[in-house]
Structure 1
Amino acid sequence: MTDTPDPFTNMYEGPAKLMRAMFAPMMGTMDAAKGIDGAVSPEDAKHWAEVGAKLQAMWLQYQSEQLSNPQALVPYFDPARWMALATDWYQKMPLAQAEQQKALMEEGMRLWEDVLGQYGLGPKASEKHGGEVELPRKDRRFADEKWRAHPAYALIHQTYLFLAERVAEMVEKADNLNPQQREQLRFTTKAITEAASPANFPLLNPVVMERTLETRGDNLVKGMEHMLADMRRGQLSHTDANAFTLGENIATTPGKVVHETPLYQLIQYSPTTDKVMETPLIIFPPWINRFYILDLNAKKSFVKWAVDQGVTVFMVSWKSADASMKDVIWDDYVRAQIDAIDHVRERLDVASVHAIGYCVAGTTLAATLAILHRREQEDKVRSATFFTAQVDFEKAGELLNFIDDQQLAAIKGLSPDGYLDGRYMAATFNLLRGTDLIWNYVVNNYLLGEDYPAFDLLHWNGDVTNLPAKWHQQYLRDLYRDNRLVEGDALTVDNTPVDLGRVNTPTYVQAGKEDHIAPAESVWRITEHFGGPLRFVLAGSGHIAGVVNPPSSGKYQYWTNAGSPRSLAEFREGAEEHPGSWWPDWIDWLREQDGETVPATGKRKPGGKGDKVIENAPGRYVATR
């Protein structure tokens, strides 16, 4: 039998060989495994057949597991969910008129002519100049030279970028959409176009094609192992989870768990200075993540750095929700903050504490302060610091796309046992940065078959916590959707009306310039609601790196404004830029609130003589999942 000419032959010989070799084992066609020119050796053909057999066996094994245990499937990753989303998206798009379709096609043809002209092909071939190919659109997903080495791949990714631009323009021109609907459509469009990138498809990605030919498909086997492992755990992996152990190479700052409730453990860290500030510091991290983002390792740890500055540091470690927490609501977290404050005051026999609230725990700290003021107990907190925390959610960014009635009902349906599996939240946050946190790893770990890196920050990002369902619904509905926290006495927490306007506690507010979870403009709004002295600092980078930026790293910068700006725009206009970390600025501010020091003795050293403690830091709660 004579092979007919392969249509790919004149376009790119390598991809054609790969395509035929990949599918040969599945079709049982040894002739196809020989490639286009029959140059594949018997040894190579045998290896390709083994690769195909391994891929098929792994997939069949996974399917068998799912059939025997349907509950193993994670509903959030059901393709039907995303097909419904895509259908809704298309229904909202404006239909292009005949003239628009014609213009789009003509523009596309001009793009093809321009690109092919760079390679001496087509009607514009005479315009080709020597030297490096200069394509009209650039994107870091296609930065590898292989995307420009052949006109086929150049056309593929340039056409994709062109269409993505035009689809985004269609969103802006869509009629009969209110601002919220338009923003949702922008977000959905971005998510779908990111997923449709040719970089995510092996036969369209020259880097993957070359790797597959080099390894004779072994990268696909390794990638399949990675993908199925993630599907079994219901979560995309970003790092090598086996590279980190709590208390050994993450969350290593010495300390003791000195207090415990069903909702949280309280860690006190051991002093490293002879004298410490009289007023201790208690940190409330968000319970949607593990606390050790502030104690990753000795070089990155905010906790260790603060201890080394002579601060007595306490850290709250929240319990990951389970069925026993089905009735936990926001009131419980506010009560927990007050309980922790009171416990530290009693333990060290001090009148007040400094408090830090990070993200959602900062939102809660604002309510806690308002309640303490209403009860005339505001002196319990000497100062408050907010890390990327919002109280006014009008400008809360892309997360607002997840809080309409339909989506709230869908989220509620994912919590049959009274808690929301933390993997859903992880997937949501990944979607906010799909290229960086989803598709980059699909390409590297599934298609290229690369090993996972040992990266502590990514390990923390994947170490998810479960959320009490009632609290989560309450938070999304009352704060994100209805924005009731900034309405005086609109919310009652722990039987006490909440009015942020009553808060006059000295306050330090840190926002991230590039924060996509708590946008700087949204964080700024706290300055419009608190009544006391307030210092606002805008840090370089985003929600995590903007906070976890030790002075020793020499990275990023921060901005301050000594005037009285009335908006974030005015703040930026008159801001002074400072290189490096904002942490030294914060410690100077903290010392201004309370400069008194005391010896680091007695219960300032947790677990010392006569001091009954529960266990060593980082404690049990941070290890439960």
Structure 2
Amino acid sequence: MKSSPLRVVARQSPALVPPASAASLRPDGQDPLDMSFKSLVARATGGISPLAMGLAFQDWYLHLLVAPGKCAELAGCWAGALAGAPAGTEPGDDRRFADPGWSAWPFHRYAWNFRQVEHFWQRATSGVAGVGPHHAEVVRFAARQLLDMWAPSNFPWTNPEVLRAAWASGGASLAAGWRNWRQDACRHLAPPGAAVSEPLGAPYVPGVDVALTPGKVVFRNALIELIQYNPQTDAVYREPVLIVPSWIMKYYILDLSPHNSLVGYLVRKGHTVLMISWRNPDAGDRDLGLADYLRQGLLAGLAQAGAVGGGAPVHAVGYCLGGTLLAMAAALHGDDQVAGRKPLPAPLASISLIAAQTDFSEPGELGLFIDDSELAFLDALMWEQGYLTGDQMAASFQLLHARDLVWSRMMREYLLGRRSAPNDLMAWNADSTRLPFRMHSEYLHQLFLRNDLAEGRYLIDGKPVLLSSIMAPMFVLATERDHVSPWRSVYKIHQLCDVPVEFVLASGGHNAGVVSEPGHPGRSYLSLATGPARPRRTVAAQWVEHAHRTEGSWWPHWQHWLARHSSPHKVAPPAPPAPVLGAAPGLYVVQP
């Protein structure tokens, strides 16, 4: 059997770490039988710890039992709900009940009753004295998920929109929904490697339909390929731009279609752009850690960017987890400069963090899945596999927003028979990656659970990573509806660094808010005007009070900031170094 070209490349690349047995990688030296059992449980529960959930409900229930005043309040709330609603009551602003049919009998009664049950559980899971804050959030979240599952909009016989569509189409809408369900079931239940129908995101193929900005692969090791994009102007800024995407995602979210490619936008504005493309790890990469991603990923790419720029400082850009890694590198660089040690492979002209956290004390709803019990089960699952799959990670994100991403989608596609038209962002989102066991365990335990990076306890090669040592000016972007990197968490970089920070809050979410090209309808962003009256140190709420909203894309604002921190005189575009290893998008991005 012949090896694929990609596997040949990977074998010819230098090894990142010595091979390690699975036993040597067990967290805290745990017994393999314990790990195997927890892994089986985690597979059955989707990675969620049943013990953590049970302890949360036990904490809530026992404290509720010794709160007679709260119980009386809830009894009154329930009695009021049983009294019913007057005829013609409007269903409110819940999008699930936006169809006019919900105002007619008996559907308005279904919606009213459901909202009363929601209101009751909101009261029941809030304000119970003595319940730990984390347990209270878990109980509220679980109650919301169970209620969303049983919403009357999810069932054909209690949803007027579904009944009307079925009547008008003579049942064709239900038949189409059945075909959609069968297609999805076959896709999800098919064994690995089996032939299945075309994925929903097709036909968006990297290098054919997306990731089309012309460029060349100029460097490759066992972890990354580095793409240098072809210049599109006669002269370019002297400082190259190195983009470090997250390895949780394929890089081409920043180079989707030609009209919404951030890479293409920068190149057309006269920047020399280089992009790291991460290799998709497998079980053999289980021992890769964050330090390996720093050394063999970011620093290797930075060395090549410095060579392309002829020694000029580099504008380094990190997206999501790539931004967290970039902040670590910049902190070590600043500390080395102060101590007179060897600095980074290339100097930094600026640092841009895009939807990237450095303080994880307020991770939003993702924090519901981060405690010692949850991580024990997740560690066991990753330990057995050697990695966390993209589907397993995506399931957690879907659970956070199950109302929109699961139940509303199922109602639309299975009950109404309407498929969402595929687009480039959907195709990218379906092109998932894997996360090595050691790296993801370090990330969750040390950054999310213990917040070691923000509190100065995180070590790389025995040296503490102190974000206060960062010396390059910073541009920091957050998005208003980000459930991965909540904007208030991203904002905390102000309290961790002493350098000027240009903070911008864009509309949209973690992905769509970043892919926000000029001309995109409905886009805007908040920022502070420059000048002596600009407040230097504020908390997030104060910043919002001072900020002003600009309609349109945040891209021009950022590009002007990059230009202000670049040399005033442009130079001829640099030629790619020899030898060129192939054309963009390279091999790693198409690795399954």
**Same fold (TM > 0.5):** yes
> Which residue in 1 is equivalent to 2:136?
182
Equivalent position of 1:514 in the other structure: 481
* 1:277 to partner: Cα distance: 0.6
Relative to structure 1, the CA distance from residue 84 to residue 447 in structure 2 (aligned partners, 3 Å threshold; closer, same or farther) is farther
Could you tell me the TM-score, scaled by structure 2's length? 0.83
Q: 1:283 aligned to 238, 243, 248, which one?
A: 243
- Separation in 2, partners of 1:181, 1:278: 53
Q: CA deviation at 1:291?
A: 1.0
State which of 443, 460, 470 in structure 1 corresponds to 2:411.
443
Task: Indicate the SS of the match to 2:502.
Answer: strand
Q: How high is the sequence identity, in percent, across the aligned residues?
A: 33
Q: In the alignment, which of 142, 165, 168 is matched to residue 122 of structure 2?
A: 168
SS in 2 for 1:316: strand
- 1:138 is aligned to 93
Find out whether 1:550 has 2:517 as its counterpart.
yes
Contact 2:57 2:139 in 1 (8 A): no
Identify the match of residue 268 of structure 1 among 207, 213, 228. Answer: 228
Q: Note the C-alpha offset of 1:308.
A: 0.5
- 1:222 matched to which residue of 2? 179
In 2: Cα distance, 1:525 partner to 1:462 partner:
31
* Aligned positions of 1:452-463 closer than 5 A: 452-463=420-431
Aligned to 1:107: 80
* Distance change in 2, residues 1:248/1:323 (3 Å): same
> Do structure 1's residue 147 and structure 2's residue 102 form an aligned pair?
yes
- 1:501 and 1:531 in contact (8 A); partners too: yes
Aligned partner of 1:479 in structure 2 is: 447
CA shift for structure 1 position 242: 2.1
Task: Name the residue aligned to 1:208.
Answer: 162
Structure 2: runs of 5+ lacking an equivalent: 1-39, 338-342, 529-533
Query: Aligned with 2:144: secondary structure?
Result: helix
Q: How big is each residue's C-alpha offset from its partner over 1:137-186, in whole Å with a ceiling of 9 and x where there is no partner?
A: 3310111122223x222211221121112101211122321222222222
Q: Does 567-576 or 374-383 show the bigger shift?
A: 374-383
CA–CA separation in structure 2 for the residues paired with 1:496 and 1:80: 33
CA gap of 1:597–1:388, structure 2 versus 1, over 3 A, is: same
**Structure 2 partner of 1:394:** 361
- How far did 1:551 drift? 1.6
- 1:352 is matched with which residue: 293, 304, 313? 313
Contact 1:419/1:468, CA 8 A, preserved across alignment: yes
Contact kept in structure 2, 1:273 and 1:600, CA below 8 Å: no
| Deviation at residue 452 of structure 1 after TM alignment | 4.0
State the shift of 1:422 in Å.
1.2
Question: Equivalents in 2 of 1:534, 1:79: separation in Å?
Answer: 39
Distance in 1 between residues matched to 2:240 and 2:199, nearest whole Å:
35
Q: SS state of the match for residue 315, structure 2?
A: strand
- The structure, 1 or 2, with the larger RCO (C-alpha pairs under 8 Å, 6+ apart) is 2
Q: How far apart are 1:496 and its partner, in Å?
A: 2.9
CA–CA distance in structure 1, aligned partners of residues 42 and 160 of structure 2: 33
Letter of the aligned partner of 1:513 in structure 2? E
8 A Cα contact 1:537 1:558, kept in partner: yes
Measure, in 1, the Cα distance between the counterparts of 2:515 and 2:47: 38
Mapping of residues 50-89 of structure 1, within 5 Å: 76=43, 78=45
TM-aligned CA deviation for residue 484 of structure 1: 0.7
- 1:308 match: 268
Classify 1:304/1:533 alpha carbon distance in 2 versus 1 (closer, same or farther; 3 Å).
Answer: same
Equivalent residue, structure 2, for 1:244: 204
Take 1:238 and 1:431, find their aligned partners in 2: how far apart are those partners?
Answer: 25
Aligned to 1:509, the other structure's residue is in SS state: strand
Between 285-294 and 454-463, the greater mean CA deviation after superposition: 454-463
Q: Using the TM superposition, name which of 469-478 and 428-437 deviates more.
A: 428-437
The one-letter code of the counterpart of 2:369 is F
Between the two proteins, the alignment pairs up a number of residues equal to: 527
Q: Cα 1:259–1:492, aligned 2, differ >3 Å: closer, same or farther?
A: same
- The residue matched to 2:178 in structure 1 has which SS? helix
Counterpart contact for 1:275–1:597, Cα < 8 Å: no
1:361 Cα deviation after fit: 0.9
Give the secondary structure class of the aligned counterpart of 1:578: strand
**Contact 1:238 1:441 (8 Å CA) reproduced:** no
**1:101 & 1:570 partners in 2: Cα distance?**
37
Question: How far apart are the structure 2 equivalents of 1:206 and 1:257?
Answer: 55
Q: Which amino acid aligns with 1:587?
A: Q
Superposition CA RMSD, Å: 2.7
**Cα distance between partner residues in 2 of 1:524 and 1:104:** 39
Give yes or no for contact 1:551–1:580 (8 Å, CA) kept in 2.
yes
Shift in alpha-carbon separation, 1:622–1:481, aligned structure 2, 3 A: same
The offset of 1:478, in angstroms, is 0.4
Answer with 340-349 or 99-108: which moved more: 99-108
Equivalent position to 1:425, from 387, 393, 408: 393
Post-superposition offset of 1:366: 0.6
Query: How far is the alpha carbon of 1:411 from its aligned partner?
Result: 1.0
In 2, distance between residues paired with 1:294 and 1:140? 31
* Structure 1 position 106, deviation (Å): 2.7
How far 1:90 sits from its partner (Å)? 5.2
In structure 1, give the amino acid aligned to 2:412.
N
Match of residue 22 from structure 2: none
- 1:407 Cα deviation (Å)? 0.8
SS at match of 2:281: coil
Residues 244 and 318, structure 2, Cα contact 8 Å, conserved in 1: yes
> 1: distance between equivalents of 2:438 and 2:400?
24
Aligned ranges for residues 12-27 of structure 1 at < 5 Å? none
Counterpart in 1 of 2:24? none
The whole-number CA distance in structure 1 between the counterparts of 2:414 and 2:212 is 32
Is the CA contact 1:238–1:462 (under 8 Å) kept in the aligned structure 2?
Answer: no
1:485-537 CA distances to partner (integer Å, 9 max, x unpaired)?
0223x221134321111111111111112222211111111111112222111
Which deviations, in whole Å up to 9, do the C-alpha atoms of 1:547-605 show, x marking residues without a partner?
A: 211122253222222332421111111112222112111111111111344444451xx
Counterpart secondary structure, 1:487: coil
CA distance in structure 2 between the aligned counterparts of 1:79 and 1:178, rounded to whole angstroms: 24
Compared CA separation, residues 616 and 399, structure 1 to 2 (3 A)? same
Q: CA deviation at 1:234?
A: 9.5
Contact 1:239 1:453 in 2 (8 A): no
Query: TM-score of the superposition, structure 1-length normalised?
Result: 0.79
Report how far residue 624 of structure 1 moved. Answer: 1.7
Residues 399-440 of structure 1: CA deviation (Å, up to 9, x unaligned) = 111111111111112221311111111111112221221112
Q: Deviations over 1:246-295 (max 9, x none)?
A: 11221111111111111111111111100111110000111111111111
Rg comparison, structure with higher value: 1
**Residue aligned with 2:472, SS:** coil
Letter in 1 for 2:76: A
- Matching of residue 540 in structure 1 with residue 495 in structure 2: no
- The whole-number CA distance in structure 1 between the counterparts of 2:48 and 2:485 is 27
Q: Which amino acid in 1 is paired with 2:509? A: G
Q: Distance in 2 between matches of 1:221 and 1:497?
A: 56
Find out whether 1:563 has 2:540 as its counterpart. Answer: no
Retained in 2: the 8 A contact 1:172–1:182?
Answer: yes
Give 1:223 deviation, angstroms: 3.4
Measure the CA separation in 1 of the matches of 2:364 and 2:545.
22
1:290-341 deviations in whole A, cap 9, x for unaligned? 1111111111111100000000001111112201211100101111211110
Deviation at 1:357, TM superposition (A): 0.6
- Given the alignment, which residue of 567, 584, 590 partners 1:595? 567
Opposite residue 393 of structure 2, the aligned amino acid is: M
What is the match of residue 580 of structure 1?
Answer: 552
